[in-house]
Amino acid sequence: MKYDVCIIGSGAGGAPIAYELSNAGFNVVVLEKGKEYKEEDFTKDEVGVCRREMFTPPLKEEQHVINERVEDGGITRHVGSESGWNFWNGSMVGGSSNLMSGYFHRMKPNDFKLESVYGKIEGANVVDWPISYEDLEPYYEKVERVVGVSGRVTKHKFSEPRSTPNFPHAKLAESGVTKWFDLACGNLGFESIATPRAILPLNALNRNGCSYSNFCGSYGCATGAKGSARAALLQRCKAKIITEAFVYRLESDATKITSAHYYDKEGISHAITAKIFVLAAQAIESSRLLLNSKNRYFKNGIANNSNQVGKNLIFSAGGAGEGRFYHEHLTPQEQKDLMQPGLFFNRSLQDWYEYEEGGKKYKGGTIDFLFEHANIISRARRELYKDGKLIWGEALAKKMYQSLTTSRVLTFEVFNDWLPTDGCFVSVDSEVKDKFHMPVGVINLWGHPHDLKVGEHLAKQAAKVLEKMGAQDISMSISSSPPPNLVAGGCRFGDDPKTSVLDRECRAHELENLYVSDASFMPTGGSVPYTWTIYANAFRVADSILKRIKS
């Protein structure tokens, strides 16, 4: 069967295009490597979800190779099936958007012009985007309405311009501890921001509201309140979704993609033909597929005659920190507020989204505050030692009980730009293959020292808030270790085909019918989680394809 549009991948980059084009009457097929899950399939099984990774492939069947640059300049090679290190992040219909926490911050206008505003940085491939915040703003607003974003707009000195005064859905119910946070920030002269979330507080958009289970990050949503690509878009569109379909090669002539070849779960090969192909398999896997799809027209891989595919891979820089509140330092009402189950701690800081130090202007970032994850195994494991010695039996049970019932940890996450460099890129391995006999993706890692400098500046500010709130045991960790759930780049867009893979509409420079709409398109990542921007850009690309296909 010939389709109008074939989309490879069903996450935040692919689902908006499937939603828009299929509902407009076009014949759309989505090829998804993973299985399809419904709300009733999502349980809060920490062992299955977080310890055994039920939503990602077994590493003996599918893995990554990671080349890590060490301090002396050498490379340490990690084979995923041996080391356990991988960058899989939700292989299912809707992709990793099923497992996100749903922290939705927009990028700021200056994020789109990093080079122009902040200047070049030695050793970094910083460039301006070919589009502006104003180009993307209508699509940020569309995501709020169609996917569902809750909260209240908080005006502050780095607020981005908006076409609407507020979010379409009221804020989620919040912990009483947020009042301590707001007071501490006021005393420090910081501006507390109510964090927007892609979670519905009440029934809306033909989905159920939040059940306040306190299990969001890493878990699928059992009510449909979370704005995953599956719940918000794919369950409301007319696209055909073929699951357990691993696309292993794209075929092309000199100017266009002619077919996508995939293996089904039985290992049988199939081919899909379409007028337009959209690649949205996740940044690493999209680059891998293009690099593995060599032919006589593209000897280095599809759309890669410029040798830019896989280059300028980025993650989110930053790190995390925490502080613990003990009952012994609190009033009875404060103890009650601290231990309220299920309620969100939706607070952020962006006071240092831009800051000056030593007479120089720096691009800073975002700090999100949240309670320690509810996973009981990870919380209990904190208590295995006392005074540096392993404890067990009655002593361990008493310590666990005391910690879990009379104290609570408030954490923070720092998000700042991971600068694109020549040292961080995707390639394919010459030796290791997956169960489909295809070369696996290689993640070549290197983080620019500038990223750590900014991250440390932000973390120090976050620690001040915890201290002012009265937290004890405050700690923080900023590192260049990349988060696997925040990856972008590899097929950056731009106006110059020599330095970019895609044009400003996210269509490949070298192929008239190939678009890439996952996070691969991003030349820089901003200082916020990526999902909202991926959604917004995918809706923008959908509009571009609609205009083209109608004509």
User: Which of 354, 373, 356 lies closest to 417, judged by CA?
Assistant: 354
> Quick one: pLDDT at residue 57?
93
3-state class (DSSP) for residue 262 = strand
Grade residue 174 by pLDDT with cuts at 50, 70 and 90: very high
> Quick one: pLDDT at residue 363?
97
C-alpha distances in Å from residue 512, one per residue of 2, 17, 21, 256, 549? 18, 17, 18, 5, 12
> Quick one: pLDDT at residue 183?
98
Answer whether CATH 3.30.110.30 is correct for domain 2-550: no
pLDDT digits (tens, 9 = 90+) for 118-140: 999 999 999 999 999 999 999 99
**Residue 219 in this model has a pLDDT that exceeds 80:** yes
**Average pLDDT value for residue range 11-18:** 98
> Quick one: pLDDT at residue 71?
77
Query: Rounded mean pLDDT of the chain?
Result: 96
Identify the bridge partners of residue 194 per DSSP, sorted by sequence position. Answer: 347
Grade residue 2 by pLDDT with cuts at 50, 70 and 90: confident
> Quick one: pLDDT at residue 51?
73
Identify the bridge partners of residue 145 per DSSP, sorted by sequence position. Answer: none
**CB-CB neighbours of 295 under 10 Å:** 14
Percent of the chain surpassing pLDDT 90: 95
> Quick one: pLDDT at residue 551?
84
> Quick one: pLDDT at residue 191?
98
> Quick one: pLDDT at residue 147?
98
pLDDT digits (tens, 9 = 90+) for 316-332: 999 999 999 999 999 99
| Cβ neighbours of residue 501 closer than 8 Å, sequence gap 6 or more | 303, 304, 306, 308, 309, 491, 492, 493, 508, 509, 516, 520
In the chain, where the domains are located: 2-550
**Average pLDDT value for residue range 244-258:** 98
> Quick one: pLDDT at residue 134?
98
**Average pLDDT value for residue range 528-537:** 98
**Residue 52 in this model has a pLDDT that exceeds 80:** no
